[in-house]
Structure 1
Amino acid sequence: MEPTFFSFKSQEKSGHQALGAVGFRHPGSMFSGSLLHDFELLVLVVCEETDSSLIQIEHCLSGSLQYQMRYIGRNELLQWVVSGEHPDIVHCFLQGEVIWDVGGKVTELRKDLTRFGGGMRERRKLKEFAGFLRTYVEAKHYAHEQDFMDAYYCVLQSLKHYARIELIDEGIVPGDRVWEQTQSINTVVRKLFDELTDSKETLEQRVELVLLACEFSVMSRMEDCCSPLLRILGSRKEAWSIQELLELPELGYIREELPMMIRKLVYRSLVKQSAVISGDASVCGREIRYWA
């Protein structure tokens, strides 16, 4: 890839504290979704940190080349790998060509993300398990109400989270084409996916069968997948209130599912609870606190 069209965007001129850039070309005639759309090239400019007062996206023309330039922060990329957000941008960053690199920092960042190290892997697994648990519970609710179309949708989403967990176990960063990624490994979830989508049983039977398998997975995978949360719960002598846990920055990416997860962990006897007299005058009775 010729970087000459990009040379005018130096770190000093852009004002973004840029570390470098990665270019990702439109893959032939394939449809590339909303990120590339009809642009021939996407340029991801990686910055030390992003500033909302500066330009975040530019549509540019160099000769006959139309390209989109997006500015992303180094920490944003790390957060997205953990949270699962913007998998298309993460994919382009990992698979694109480095066209500008200040001191090798972009190359080193790609190596870090590709290695998908232990801490990052654990946090992503917790995030996917939270999504798996949420959609599984929703599917059970819809099935109980005899709403099997919505139950089917939720089970499908639950299996997608489960598939990402299995990819993470293999050291693979889950992308936006999860089912394509799982083809290369022999996974349980792939068989469940086929059972749900390509079986002669009725919709109700398929949903109920996969829900049973998901129930087993909840029981067998919970302790492993929730290990970062369990460590936090056991990190001090005092038990935690749910509000204290919700306010922890390191659990911000599972804040929505956290109350439900805590109750499930208590139900599975992985977390203990106790009741204390609350010091908050607005709280009636005793407050439940948690520890591991």
Structure 2
Amino acid sequence: MKEAKMKIWGSLRRIAALSIVALGVQATAAQAQDYKLLEPGTLKCAFTGAFAPFSMQTSDGKWYGLTNEVFREMANRTGLKLEYVITKWDSLLVGLMADQYDILCDTMDITKERQARVLFVDGWIESGGRLVVHKDSDITSFDQFKGKTMGVLVSSTWAVLAKGLEPGETKYYQAESDAMRDLADKKIDGMVTDSIAAAWAAEHTKMPLRTVDGYLSRIQKGWAAKKDRAELVKALNKALAEMVADGTYAKLTKALIGYSPAPAEPIRSQLN
């Protein structure tokens, strides 16, 4: 009799365990459906490629950098496989709206204009626009740049900021690295770019560049999804907040630039 009861209890426990697993699978499937991913379980993330120190590539093709390290950890905590899609900067938003990928994981500034079109993950990094010149340049202030030749990334906020310096000519680039090389070769007189990127370039690439004192802007950057991806953005927000709280974010970013650039007051997602 006792043995029969034990068998019954054992069967009940197995049924209960299987029920819990089934519920977990159902919950995961429902959550994946809420994310509205192009491919269930896979987060297709688009960016423009190399832009140190945000995204860099090793000799064997692996991506690393501020963006890659932080976003990869967020995807892991959300239970999603990360898949990169490389595209041109001025095609990022077009491709997003055309459902060519799920989210943009490039270093995109959070602006009111962009917030009207896309849904940003909470601001994950704070930086700003700086004027970068050749190390030998005699330019020491913004007003001295009037009439000079400027280089900027096409369709970027830097291009807008650069106009305020009244350059005589502006050259537009598809990649920041190309503008930096031209500046190092004195083919242009200066460029406007991100303060973190400028500091990294001057320190790690040994290019003869320096930043002019003062900021042209202060900005937070975020990752953008379509407006109907609210559940995905909520999940990524949760993962990011946990990383900041448990010290993972600081550990990942300090290893690359020596400090944590997390915003003290992040710009929050405009969720309905």
TM-score norm. by structure 2 comes to 0.25
Q: Which has the higher contact order (CA 8 A, sep 6+)?
A: 2
TM-score norm. by structure 1 comes to 0.24
More strand, by proportion: 2
